[in-house]
Amino acid sequence: MFSVDKIHFEISERKMILRFFDVFFVLGTLFFVGKMFDFDYFTFSTINFYWTIVLGVYLNFFGTIFEMYNLQVASNQFQVLRSAILTASTTVLVYLLTPVFSPELPSKRIEILVFYLVVFVALFLWRMFYVKFLASKRFLQNAVLICDKEQVEELISGLEHIDPHYKIVAYVNSDCTVKDDSKYHYVPNIKSDELFSFVIENSISEIVIASQKTEGITAELYQQLLRLLERGSVIREYTQVYENKTHRIPVHYISRDFYRFFPFSRSNHNTLYLLSIRIFEISMSVLGLAVGLVLFPLILIGNAIGNRGKLFYSQERVGKDGVVFEIFKFRTMISNAESNGAVFTTTSDSRVTAFGKFLRKTRIDEFPQFINILKGDMAVIGPRPERPFFVKEIAEIMPFYETRHVIKPGLTGWAQVNYAYGGTIDDSLIKLQYDLYYIKHRSIFLDLSIAFKTITTVLFYRGQ
């Protein structure tokens, strides 16, 4: 018998639900208001059907920029309020200012206010419903993990932190040489011969196998898994689940067996894709340098007051195929910042000047790198280029680090838009996981996603 307790939504499904019903409820409310009240600005017509399409596109576009489809934001009512206000305000403003694709401005100013209120209220009320109901514990995706005892903490934290609706409720110790009745925080250990009954009684959505030891899957445990498979239970391998949930490659788990799990994206050798990207890079570089020239007088004044020294700064970085090149930036640190040797930049680095903080937060300090992009040393999107000293240091500790160099480094990247700035080896590991995910899944769609997230980073003043 079908039970609502067993319902859960994958990350992609929840995002599709959010996108669809954002448009559905806004358009539905506009239709209702138009029929019930004297509201003529937005009317549904087969002749001007594109008005409706354009509004839906704007909602999704600006909703993406203002994090309406970030599941962490979508599950928090206070963050939803902020995002809904920004999305509704920007959508309505742009829609009103593009009369070629939308109705002409109404003669009654009150209709502009009504239009805005309808869009905002419909969007906000639907999102409150999502927070209270669809993001509730009723729709948690419960899972059981099969792994060695010493892996439990690392593997669980890697999965749960990214998806607020995913819950590891128990684990089976696959190390047959160790008897374990202990608990990892709230996660109990269950015996292998009790797996089938536990899954049935607790409405488990899937079983995740993370044991890398063949002997860990005993005949008894295998029979339990076989019964569950025959019953229709979902059984997946850990790397598959981790990559799907976190959008990172679990290099800490797959170790030297890396290339078995890592087929490079075909886009890395696709001539049409690479040509399109290069045309885009040149266009963006010309546009970026033009904007930089407009801002240059203000930057000069700010540098004279808040930096007091040279404006430009160059540094060696490692590029594609390990080739070292000179990167250009606006200086953000005090002079002789590394007189005691090279060190990672930290979040609250005392070496960063007052004006330098502003340049970093707004990403203006990186405008000169459009010169590097024009020269072909860098791309707009790719792993951030690191200094040779740190590359050597990290590569000795971390496997696969130099795999980042199979493509050009970028001005922005998957790691930059998904992970806060960090200056430790552990932070470098997490950023490496994101970079490898980009290299593996590189595509136009992923590039667009990074571009949208970069706009969000700049607008919300989250630069590094």
Task: Measure Cα distances from 419 to 117, 229, 422 in Å.
Answer: 35, 36, 8
Residue ranges in the chain whose pLDDT is less than 50:
1-5
Q: What is the pLDDT of residue 337?
A: 61
Pairwise CA distance, residues 316 & 328, whole Å:
9
Q: What is the pLDDT of residue 280?
A: 93
Domain coordinates of the chain in residue numbers? 4-134, 140-246, 266-459
Contact 67, 456 (CB under 8 A): yes
Q: What is the pLDDT of residues 93-143, one digit of tens each?
A: 999 888 778 888 877 888 889 999 999 999 999 999 998 887 766 677 889
Q: What is the pLDDT of residue 279?
A: 94
Q: What is the pLDDT of residues 352-395, one digit of tens each?
A: 888 888 888 888 999 999 999 999 999 999 999 999 988 988 88
Contact 123, 87 (CB under 8 A): yes
Which pair of structure tokens corresponds to residue 327? 């990167």
> Is pTM beyond 0.85 here?
no
Q: What is the pLDDT of residue 343?
A: 63
Pairwise CA distance, residues 420 & 430, whole Å:
10
Q: What is the pLDDT of residue 261?
A: 53
Assigned fold of 140-246: Rossmann fold (3.40.50)
Q: What is the pLDDT of residue 257?
A: 57
Q: What is the pLDDT of residue 178?
A: 56
Q: What is the pLDDT of residue 3?
A: 40
